[in-house]
Amino acid sequence: MPVPEPALADAAGVPAARPAEGRERMLSGWGRTTRSRALVLVPRDAQEVAEHVGSGAVGGLIARGAGRNYGDAAQNAGGAVLDMTAMQRVLAIDPERRQVTVQAGATIAAVMAALAPHELTLPVVPGTRHVTIAGAIASDIHGKNHHRDGGFARHVHAITVCTPAQGLVEVSPQSDPELFYGTLGGMGLTGVVVQATLAAAPLPTPWVSEDLDRTGGLNATLELLAGEDPRRYSVAWLDLLAGGARAGRALVSRADPVEAPSRRERTRLDAARAEFAAALLRGPRVTVPAAVPGGLLQPAAVRAFNELRWQRGPRRARGRHLEMAPYFFPLDVVGDWNRLYGRRGLVQYQFVLPTGADASLVRCFELLREHRVPVYLAVFKRFGPAFGGPLSFPLEGWTLAIDVPAAWSGLAGALAALDEVVAACGGRVYLTKDARMRAELLPAMYPLLRRFRALRARVDPDGVLSSDLARRLGLDEVRA
């Protein structure tokens, strides 16, 4: 039966600091590339959300969680932004049915920590534990196991959402499939998610068993990843700063959860789960100060780091037991690491190309090399079948995410060239991380855009829900 849960602290172990209601603030995404000023409102419960949505705020409104999207999806210049982090409770856990009900502002870390004592966890998590559940839904986040388990959307049972036309309404695939699926990946433009009921997955132990392979170049990396892989988690770190034939060399990680040991070790395993939950709620080991010199990261330093990382990686290792938290969330050990890119920030550009678009994939790597893009971090993995709403990003194929300093002078031209290749082969750019794509490419990348606009005409006919991203790409247009 469902177990009520107490309110949890945030990932730092203390209640999150919240801005005063009605305060104007300058906001940006995690990439810190675009900033805009908005009136920030802090609803404490669902009724306050409904009041804000129904108030007809000048300039419209958009919901915002932890601010971990890289682009401008949770900003609304000249309008209102609903800071949902005050609504952070884990409401109930049902161990028998393996499901959990949470408020919109609860973080991935808080939910996983609450589930761990029940020998459960979330089936899909992103690369950071600080994302809120509503943010995960609006972005239809994905993890290292999309090829096996799909994205976050596949594991949502029901949501309570507040739309301008309907107010507060609980929706599921059965009650209103159009609104339900449209909200999964809908960038917050179909309504404000207030709470959600999610599937939980077994947590036999808080460890994974990893197989690691080191490749010498891009061809070897692609060949290794091309085969069928039965393991649950799979991801490759690519070195795209290496020169010549070494470009695209990689450390390829594939892993499975570690199964529970014998019942005699039950006490040790309970203690390990408790430590796992505590680790999820701890702060970072070190935090980058606000006054860090601009552009501390430079290509020469990153190139040297990549060389060291690749050299230290074993050529072939099997069955390495790793703690689950650092395996899933490696960058969370450094607080405010985005400051390392300097005042102008970073662009994380992520695309997916459909299965069969091998020539286009190779062309994308060629463009990165031809434009000499200073890729400081590159992560490559496989997606399984598409699932979710008209704006859900994942589709079956290959996805590459790269981090590039926004101050690099050739960035706009290089990414525009990549956009063209991606759109031409039926691929798409991840809207959650975008802050610069041209609107005219959107219909090619998201062919169900017309269906999304028809949904908005039903649930938000006056265009109350809006954001900087929506205006830039024309997503806030209401068309039947």
State the CATH number of the domain containing residue 10.
3.30.465.10
192 inside domain: yes
355 inside domain: yes
CA distance 91 to 113: 13
Average pLDDT value for residue range 72-81? 97
Look up residue 271 and give its two tokens.
């203690």
pLDDT (0 to 100) of residue 14:
36
Cβ pair 398, 353 in contact under 8 A: yes
271 inside domain: no
Look up residue 372 and give its two tokens.
């000499």
387 and 329 in one domain?
yes
CA distance 325 to 328: 5
Tell me the per-residue pLDDT of 111-146, one tens digit each, with 9 for 90 and over.
999 999 999 999 999 999 999 999 999 999 999 999
Burial annotation 403-432 (CB, 10 A radius, 16+ → b, else e): bbbbbbeebeebbebbbebbbebbbbbbbb
pLDDT (0 to 100) of residue 18:
41
112 and 222 in one domain?
no
CA 131 vs CA 99, 104, 137, 141, 419: distances in Å: 19, 11, 10, 9, 26
Read out DSSP for 246-314? GTTEEEEEEEEEPPP--GGGHHHHHHHHHHHHHHHTS--SEE--TTPPTT---HHHHHHHHHHHHHHS-
469 and 360 in one domain?
no
pLDDT (0 to 100) of residue 444:
97
Tell me the per-residue pLDDT of 386-400, one tens digit each, with 9 for 90 and over.
998 999 999 999 999
Residues 6+ apart with CB under 8 A from 264: none
pLDDT (0 to 100) of residue 17:
41
Residues 6+ apart with CB under 8 A from 119: 95, 202, 203, 204, 273
Average pLDDT value for residue range 326-337? 96
Cβ pair 18, 83 in contact under 8 A: yes
Backbone angles phi, psi at 123, to 5 degrees: -75, -25
Tell me the per-residue pLDDT of 51-69, one tens digit each, with 9 for 90 and over.
999 987 778 999 999 999 9
220 and 140 in one domain?
no
Average pLDDT value for residue range 308-328? 95
pLDDT (0 to 100) of residue 330:
95
- Find the farthest-apart pair of alpha carbons in the chain and give their distance in angstroms, rounded: 63
Across the chain, mean pLDDT equals 93
334 and 232 in one domain?
yes
Greater confidence (436 vs 6) lies with 436
pLDDT (0 to 100) of residue 22:
84
Confidence of residue 2 (pLDDT cuts 50, 70, 90): low
pLDDT (0 to 100) of residue 58:
78
175 and 290 in one domain?
no
Residues in the chain: 480
pLDDT (0 to 100) of residue 9:
38
Which residue type sits at 48?
E
234 inside domain: yes
Greater confidence (410 vs 478) lies with 410
218 inside domain: yes
111 and 25 in one domain?
yes
264 inside domain: no
338 and 466 in one domain?
no
446 inside domain: no
Task: Give the domain extent around 76.
Answer: 3-203+455-473
| CATH of residue 419 | 3.30.70.2520
Tell me the per-residue pLDDT of 354-406, one tens digit each, with 9 for 90 and over.
999 999 999 999 999 999 999 999 999 999 999 989 999 999 999 999 999 99
pLDDT (0 to 100) of residue 298:
85
Which residue in 339, 338, 445 sits closest to 397, CA to CA?
Answer: 445
361 inside domain: yes
pLDDT (0 to 100) of residue 228:
82
Number of domains in the chain: 2
Confidence of residue 104 (pLDDT cuts 50, 70, 90): very high
252 and 214 in one domain?
yes
Backbone dihedral region for residue 326 (phi beyond 0: left; psi -120 to 50: alpha; all else: beta): alpha
Indicate whether 470 pLDDT > 60. Answer: yes
247 and 144 in one domain?
no
49 and 20 in one domain?
yes
372 and 288 in one domain?
yes
CA distance 172 to 359: 40
Tell me the per-residue pLDDT of 13-28, one tens digit each, with 9 for 90 and over.
334 444 346 899 999 9
